[in-house]
Amino acid sequence: MNESTMNATSMTFVDQRVERERPARGRVGMFGLIAAEAAIFSIFVVAYLFYIGKNLTGPMPREVLSVPIFYTICLLSSSLTIQLAVRALRRGNVRVFGDWWLVTIALGAAFMLGTATEWNRLIYHEGLTISTNLFGTTYYSLVGLHAFHVIVGLMSLSIVMALKLLGNVKAEHVERVDVLSLYWHFVDAVWVVVFTVVYVIGR
């Protein structure tokens, strides 16, 4: 083997190694999106904390808010189920993946049902709207922003579920599914912050 051939072989090995060590573009993009969304949520959280206790008129948070413990458990549990789904797909078990993925969607939908029920009570029974007072404005803005992200996540999960039912999801797609799961974990993590700010500190 001459020197030029050896150099070409060495370069090939180096290129392959660099390619393996390079982060997946989808994962990098998702982390970038999460960073941007985290910055937006930070602004809303800071605004909520700043205006706590500055209402001139009622109702006050402690008078109308009920702690959504059950629906919080549903949402946080969905982080576990989506991880189990990704693990199943990584092992090539598409059927089990579909089962856990569907459970994740159901838990997310249950959380949104809880949010809709709470908003219905607050608006039509407690008289709290986004224009009622500072609390109403900051509450609906922060919780609504999170609810919007949950809806986007549910739509994405549902698309994957539809593709699975059509037989278009296979083990080789696990990295794409895993990237989507990162977004869902982010949504769950943000709710921990929102829950703490609104239902613990804010009351």
Is 14 among the domain residues?
no
Is 60 among the domain residues?
yes
Hey, is 108 helix, strand or coil? helix
50 lies in which domain range?
26-201
State how far the Cα of 128 lies from the Cα of 136, in Å rounded to an integer: 6
**What six digits make up the tokens of 134?**
């500072």
Please enumerate in sequence order all residues whose Cβ is within 8 A of that of 45, keeping only pairs 6 or more positions apart, or say none: 142, 193, 194, 197
State how far the Cα of 108 lies from the Cα of 191, in Å rounded to an integer: 12
HEC sequence for 159-193? HHHHHHHCCCCCHHHHHHHHHHHHHHHHHHHHHHH
- Average pLDDT per consecutive 10 residues, the chain (203 residues; last block may be shorter): 48 46 79 96 96 88 95 98 97 96 98 97 96 95 98 98 95 95 97 97 87
Is 158 among the domain residues?
yes
What is the total count of domains within the chain? Answer: 1
Q: What is the pLDDT of residue 58?
A: 85
Is 13 among the domain residues?
no
Is 19 among the domain residues?
no
CATH number of the domain bearing residue 98:
1.20.120.80
State how far the Cα of 146 lies from the Cα of 151, in Å rounded to an integer: 9
Is 10 among the domain residues?
no
Q: What is the pLDDT of residue 46?
A: 96
Is 21 among the domain residues?
no
Angular region, 5: left φ>0, alpha ψ -120 to 50, beta rest? alpha
Is 194 among the domain residues?
yes
Q: What is the pLDDT of residue 57?
A: 87
Q: What is the pLDDT of residue 22?
A: 58
Q: What is the pLDDT of residue 23?
A: 64
Taking each continuous run of H as one helix and of E as one strand, the counts in the chain are: 7, 0
Q: What is the DSSP string of 1-53?
A: --HHHHHHHHHHHHHHHHHHHSPPHHHHHHHHHHHHHHHHHHHHHHHHHHTTT
